[in-house]
Amino acid sequence: MPELPEVETVRRGLAPVFEQATIERLALNRPDLRFPFPPDLQERLEGATVTHVGRRAKYLLIATNRGDVVISHLGMSGSYRIEAQVGVTPGTFFHERNKSETHDHVIFQLAAANGTPAKIIYNDPRRFGFIDLARAGALEDNRFLSPLGLEPTGNALSGPALAGLLAHKNTPLKAALLDQRLIAGLGNIYVCEALWRAKLSPRRMARTIVKADGHPSKRCELLARSIRAVISEAIEAGGSSLKDYVHADGSMGYFQHSFSAYGQEGQPCGHELCHGTIARIVQSGRSTFFCTSCQR
């Protein structure tokens, strides 16, 4: 599910509830997700107050007043939801488990501060997500965060910067853009969308959009712009809600209605004057959608 725009949308949904709230209790309903939970996760979080909910690439960063930072990755199917606890009847002790609750793995029970008490619940059917814990001053040393490349938000991802990243890459563009060590935050959807916008084939070797002197080609400049644009537009739209994915507040993102390539197999290419059709191929085991006519 979650690529950078979805994680940013989750961050924006969680921040108002999480920030300034004290974690009264942290419930772990199993010993691990993709990896075991840090052994001291509960003792370091219970009683701590959340000071900030941030994001790096596809990672949520939940900082506390004790100098700890929870590093949360949502894998393919992870999601957070908020449950305000109002009108809980003391006699109601039986609650039929619905389907989604069977994959509630982590529950942050927040203390009632200046409002109603709430729970923030991490749910993840496939359990590809994971949680790590680091000291705020040592995030650069974290095994998950330290290898990450450029954030595709803001202006860091310029044409020349992208050329520098791709100059010696002997992989198809698709694989290069998915490599989190180069650009951090893109996933299968937004790579397909960015390549479609830049009219570049996902099969093209990455280094071929860099000129011999190391300067970016026109297409490389366009690709950098396309990546920044598709990411910022998706964030504006509240991310994409595929399948059953919804935001922390239960609402749906709507960027999926703007897909030009991803999932559009057999549809006509939307580029002006192009009469091509969107095709689906498999690259390194994953679906790629692109126009075989205009994407070169």
Partner DNA sequence: CCTTGAACCTGGGCGC
Partner DNA sequence: TGCGCCCAGGTTCAAG
- Where along the sequence are the contacts to DNA (CB under 7 A)? 1-3, 6, 34, 57-58, 73, 75-77, 99, 102-103, 125-128, 143-144, 147, 169-172, 175, 178, 180, 187-189, 239-245, 284-287
Mark whether 286 is an active-site residue.
yes
**Catalytic member of 11, 55, 56, 58:** 58
Quote the strand ranges of 180-285, DSSP E: 278-283
**Catalytic member of 126, 135, 286, 296:** 286
**Least spacing, CB of residue 183 vs DNA, in Å:** 11
Q: How far apart are CA 71 and CA 172, in angstroms?
A: 30
> Given the complex with DNA, which of 1 and 121 has the nearer CB atom?
1
Mark whether 2 is an active-site residue.
yes
Residue 27's DSSP bridge partners are: 107
> Given the complex with DNA, which of 51 and 188 has the nearer CB atom?
188
Q: Do the beta carbons of residue 239 and residue 58 sit within 8 Å? A: no
**Least spacing, CB of residue 52 vs DNA, in Å:** 21
> Given the complex with DNA, which of 68 and 124 has the nearer CB atom?
124
**The pair of three-digit structure tokens given for residue 284, joined into one six-digit string:** 């390194």
Q: How far apart are CA 90 and CA 95, in angstroms?
A: 12
Mark whether 236 is an active-site residue.
no
**Least spacing, CB of residue 273 vs DNA, in Å:** 29
**Least spacing, CB of residue 294 vs DNA, in Å:** 22
> Given the complex with DNA, which of 226 and 288 has the nearer CB atom?
288
Q: How far apart are CA 184 and CA 171, in angstroms?
A: 17
Q: Do the beta carbons of residue 49 and residue 108 sit within 8 Å? A: no
Q: How far apart are CA 21 and CA 51, in angstroms?
A: 8
Q: Is 89 helix (H, G, I), strand (E, B) or coil?
A: coil
Mark whether 66 is an active-site residue.
no
Residues assigned a catalytic role: 2-3, 58, 286
